[in-house]
Chains A and B, each alone.
Chain A
Amino acid sequence: MGAPSRESVTATLNPDPGTLPVVPNDGSEPVFANPWQAQIFSLVVGLHQGGCFSWREWTENLSAEIAADQNADADHSGEEANPSDSYYRLWVRALERILTNKTILSPDDVQRRVAQWRKAYLNTPHGKPVALPSSREQVSTLG
């Protein structure tokens, strides 16, 4: 069993007893529901393996994001069509939180790059590989 602090956090959860998801059939659930889930997963594990943060730091930040998400308005959770999207969305937030705290990347850095990628997608003719103007990198994995 967990330490008392864990139990007290559990007690603040407010699950609806009727909403335990149906047990998925073994094998019918893909490991990753779409490419970006695989990308955020590998990014977090890869950064950890490279020494960027300890796994304990990771779980602390992820737990904090999960707790914050559950305390937010009830209609906020489950907005994604796929339940695993809501889970990996919290991975994205937790990673951004760690990177900001460690002053590796600021939210502004990320938003600027998001805008660049968005523009690159919109300006690239259909069927051509997408690349940033300043980068030779070609993207073919976004789906």
Chain B
Amino acid sequence: MTSDDHHSHDHTESPVDLALQVKALESLLVEKGLVSEETLDALIETYEHKVGPRNGAQVVAKAWAQPEFKEWLLKDANAAIASLGFTGRQGEHMRVVENSAKVHNLVVCTLCSCYPWPVLGLPPVWYKSAPYRARVVRDPRGVLVEFGTSLDDDVQIEIWDSTAEMRYLVLPERPVGTEDWPEEELANIVTRNSMIGVETVHVTEDGDNSGAKADS
């Protein structure tokens, strides 16, 4: 900001311009009573620690384990997901799209970064990137290969463009060999990327999926 930054530590270092701008906006809006510090703190706490792809993994595992829940989920995703305590904050509608041997679903927001926060948390950087948003529509198979996912030529790819009003969650195919698994174990193998549709769900030899372990 000033030459002081380079040769003196007598003063508090000025934060980057964007941080100052956000601080200015926040203090002005709080003073106007349009939002409170408590609300802001609670929102950050919620999105940093309480919502994330583990919520969506529970939804998928329940759908795999309980056919009646799956039927409800595909018919009325908002109600089925809300029954597990995950509710939307932006008034959006949820729709769950099911993968099969014939159809693979892939979710994008071509215009910005609409994403089902209550079940997946906030979107990863690549989901918000211009190349993903544009290329998924033009070359979905090429994008999938970059994520390590190759589909048979006869599998049809359906692309779902999220909006402010409609968010999508992919119900991945249940891997073979997991027929007698309890729901909690099933949830452990469901990755965030599989619920966006860029990956499929696999079972590794130790019965776990490396991607799922690090997911919070």
Q: Measuring CB to CB, which residues of chain A are less than 8 angstroms from any residue of chain B?
A: 1-2, 6-7, 9-10, 13, 15-17, 19-29, 31-32, 34-36, 38-43, 45-50, 52, 54-56, 58-60, 62-63, 66-67, 70, 77, 83-85, 87-89, 92, 95-96, 99, 104-105, 109-111, 113-114, 116-118, 121-128, 130, 132, 135, 137, 139, 142-143
B11 located at the interface, meaning its Cβ lies under 8 Å from any Cβ of chain A in the complex: yes
Residues of A within 8 A of B12 (CB): 121-122, 124-128, 130
Is B204 engaged at the interface, CB distance under 8 Å to the other chain? no
Quick one: given A62-B112, A87-B125, are A36 and B39 in contact (CB under 8 Å)?
Answer: no
Closest-by-CB residue of A relative to B198 is A23
Sorted nearest first, the 4 A-B pairs with minimum C-beta distance are: A27-B214, A2-B161, A113-B24, A55-B90
Interchain Cβ contacts within 8 Å, total number: 233
| Distance in angstroms between the alpha carbons of A77 and B129 in the assembled complex | 11
Q: Does B14 contact A (CB under 8 A)?
A: yes
- Assess whether B91 is in contact with A10, with CB atoms less than 8 Å apart: no
Query: In the complex, A91 Cα to B129 Cα: how many Å?
Result: 14
Which residues of B pack against A, CB within 8 Å? 1-2, 4, 9-29, 32, 34-36, 39-41, 43-44, 47-48, 53, 89-92, 110-114, 121-122, 124-126, 128-135, 137, 139, 142-143, 146-148, 159-161, 163-165, 191-193, 198, 211-216
Q: Which residues of A contact B143 (CB under 8 A)?
A: 20
Contact (Cβ within 8 A) A29 B22: no
Nearest CB of B to A100, in Å:
12
State the majority secondary structure of interface residues on A.
Answer: helix
Chain A positions within 8 Å of B112 at CB level? 59, 62-63, 66
Return the contact of A26 from the options B10, B113, B163, B193 (Cβ within 8 A): B193
Between A and B, 9 residue pairs with Cβ closer than 8 Å are A2-B163, A15-B131, A15-B134, A31-B47, A39-B40, A105-B25, A114-B17, A122-B11, A125-B11
A32 to B49, CA, bound (A): 11
With contacts A63-B111, A126-B12 known, is A85 near B39, CB below 8 A?
no
Q: Contact at A21–B21, with CB atoms within 8 Å?
A: no
CB pair A27 B216 closer than 8 Å:
yes
Complex interface: chain B residues within 8 A of A16 (CB): 131
**A6 with B132, Cβ < 8 A, contacts A142-B19, A142-B23 known:** no
B89 near A29 (CB under 8 angstroms)? no
How long is the Cα–Cα vector from A109 to B40 in the complex, in angstroms?
Answer: 21
CA distance A62 to B148 in the complex (A): 31
